[in-house]
A = this chain, B = another copy of it.
Amino acid sequence: MVQLDHKQLWETVADRLRDEILDGHLPAGARLVEADLASRFGVSRGPIRDALADLSRSGLVVDLPRRGTSVASLREQDLAEVYEVRRALEEGAVRMAIARGTAEDFAEMDRLLAATENAYHAGSLPVAWEADMAFHRVYCRMAGNGRLLELVDRLASQTLLLMRTALAEHASLAWTPPVEVPRRIADAIRARDGEGAVRAVANHYQYTEDRLAGRAKTD
């Protein structure tokens, strides 16, 4: 049986809004008025509400009762929170993933590592970040835990938004970790080295933290 994935109206709306938020078309803090969106997309407010509820779940918008919803403007504090949770989840993920990786998974990781570096050197940071997110996603998928994967996805969205909005203020965010850092994760998983993989993930986040802390000092 072919699973044709018919999207509900609110899913289509949510996808569209998510894109507009992540590509910066809807800047942080922008108000999302249900009636406006309804007329813009030619639907009623019901699906709009559902879509906004989903984006709120993902942390891309904030929803103040009786006062409407607006695009989340995430701060330093949020960045730290997201990274802490992602680190915890990914450390768990690699431990589970080591038993289940297939050759295709490893090939995809290699491909994404290369894509990240290429995009970085080509100067296309958003593309590099997305490839990096996809890289992390691969081994989280390998963990074979649907709940974990969904959480990672939602946090990845928030991370992308954070990077985008933060980059607008701090040019020093225009970087990705040197490819060796994430590669160590891939290598450890490939070698079925659980503790090594956990260390590699910790190292990756430590590196990122240090780099961000450095920014805080030098800016």
Contact = CB atoms under 8 A, between A and B. Distances in A.
Interface of A: 6, 8, 50, 53, 57, 59, 65, 81-82, 84-85, 87-89, 91-93, 96, 143, 145-148, 151, 155
Given A8-B65, A151-B151, A88 B92 contact: yes
A93 B88 contact: yes
Contact of A85 (B50, B81, B89): B89
B91 A89 contact: no
A53 B88 CA distance: 27
Nearest to A5: B65
A151 B53 contact: no
Contacts of A155: 147
A155 B6 CA distance: 28
A145 B81 contact: yes
20 contacts: A6-B65, A8-B65, A50-B53, A81-B146, A81-B148, A82-B147, A84-B96, A84-B143, A84-B145, A85-B89, A85-B92, A85-B148, A85-B151, A88-B89, A88-B91, A88-B148, A89-B89, A89-B92, A147-B155, A151-B151
A148 B88 CA distance: 9
A207 to B, nearest CB: 17
